[in-house]
Amino acid sequence: MSLARYVARRAVVLVPTLFFVSVLIFSLQQLLPGDAALALAGEEHDPSAVAAIRQKYHLDQPVIVQYGLWMGRVLRGDLGVSLRTRIPVTELIASKLPVTVELAVASMLIALLIGIPAGVLSASRHGTAVDMAANAVALSGLSVPHFWLGIMMILLFAVRLGWLPASGYVPPWEDLGRNLTTILMPAVVLGTGVAGVMMRHTRGAMLQVLGTDYVRTARAKSVPERLVILKHALRNALIPVITLGAIEFGRLLSGAVLTEQIFAIPGFGKMLVDGVFNRDYAVVQGVVLVSAALFVLLNLLADVLYFLANPRLRGA
């Protein structure tokens, strides 16, 4: 099967998923207690302003018509206007997303640098104290609430030791050095959780591969153990880990909500929280919609990577 055909087949399956995603996100508005127009008006209680909102969002129309009109606007890239700032939501998202992407990339690098070597080490020393210790550390990374880990790191590295800034963000094009110091702690906080997932999957995949016939053959041919692990086993074990990486990257983009809040990083997650507190529902709906779309696209990317990395699929 060609890559294009494979991608096309996967993409077709996504259409109904995205349709239901849009229905779910539109339905959020129906959950607002009481009159949606009043809720959307926020602190504005002037009846004419409320009436204007009711007319603008067609709240006096049947729900299906409202959905159709909303979807029409979304497909044209119009996610509405922030009630608080009066800036189009699409514009707001475009300005915040790069910050979160930078944080997610840095977190992923940390996760890969810790997770994969730890998984390989753990699998190659299966059943030993090293394996148990690596497992315990991975499980700790999965169990620690990230926002608390963030608070503890601020306490240690910013308040006590004064090595790193406690919060804030400097764009890389303004000052790369300060940019790196501001995203280091949040990236470590987010990266540790993903490192735990990566480690466990790398270990599982390595253990499976190390039990296969071709690895036994390589060992029987006296191939040095280092080569067996790094060349024969790891290359195949990494296939499922690569796809997991793409999925985890999608999770990082949305998982940064609390981390961004704690470290006052003006990204996508903080935009969601601010939207929630300002009762800025267009912003909340916009962020949820874009994060779902990104998540779906990254899942598609994971499938494509799996296809590219797996010769058996290409031959099918």
To another protein, the closest distance from the beta carbon of 175 in angstroms equals: 25
To another protein, the closest distance from the beta carbon of 95 in angstroms equals: 19
Closest among 247, 308, 302, 309 to 111, alpha carbons compared: 247
Nearer residue to another protein within complex by CB, 264 or 308: 264
Query: Is 287 one of the binding residues for another protein (CB under 8 A)?
Result: yes
To another protein, the closest distance from the beta carbon of 298 in angstroms equals: 10
Angle 213-219-223 (CA atoms, 0-180°, nearest 5)? Answer: 130
Query: Is 92 one of the binding residues for another protein (CB under 8 A)?
Result: no
Distance, in Å, from the CA atom of 274 to the CA atom of 263, rounded to the nearest integer, reads 14
User: Would you tell me how many other CB atoms lie within 10 Å of the CB of residue 278?
Assistant: 16
To another protein, the closest distance from the beta carbon of 64 in angstroms equals: 17
Residues 5-24 touching another protein, rule: CB under 8 A, are 16-21, 23-24
Out of 7, 133, 151, 301, the only residue in the binding site for another protein (CB under 8 A) is 151
Query: Is 272 one of the binding residues for another protein (CB under 8 A)?
Result: yes
Count of residues interacting with another protein (CB under 8 A): 53
To another protein, the closest distance from the beta carbon of 258 in angstroms equals: 6
Site mask, another protein, residues 109-148, x = CB under 8 A? ------------------------------xx-xxxx-xx
| Three-state DSSP state, 106 | helix
Site mask, another protein, residues 29-48, x = CB under 8 A? x-xxx---------------
Distance, in Å, from the CA atom of 67 to the CA atom of 286, rounded to the nearest integer, reads 15
Tokens of 127: 């059943």
Q: Within the chain, how many helices (H) and strands (E) appear? A: 14, 0
Q: Which residues contact 57 (CB under 8 A, 6 or more apart)?
A: 36, 37, 40, 66, 70
| Residue keyed to tokens 């190390």 | 210
Distance, in Å, from the CA atom of 15 to the CA atom of 74, rounded to the nearest integer, reads 15
Distance, in Å, from the CA atom of 108 to the CA atom of 113, rounded to the nearest integer, reads 8
To another protein, the closest distance from the beta carbon of 277 in angstroms equals: 7
Tell me phi and psi for residue 125, to 5 degrees. Answer: -115, 40
Residues 223-262 touching another protein, rule: CB under 8 A, are 244, 250-251, 254-255, 257-258, 261-262
Q: Is the dihedral of CA 3, 212, 116, 193 positive or negative?
A: positive
Query: Is 173 one of the binding residues for another protein (CB under 8 A)?
Result: no
Tokens of 290: 């874009």
Beta-bridge partners for 88? 81
Query: Is 186 one of the binding residues for another protein (CB under 8 A)?
Result: no
Contact residues toward another protein (CB under 8 A) are: 16-21, 23-25, 28-29, 31-33, 139-140, 142-145, 147-148, 151-152, 154-155, 159, 197, 201, 244, 250-251, 254-255, 257-258, 261-262, 272-273, 275-277, 281, 284-285, 287-288, 291-292, 295-296, 299
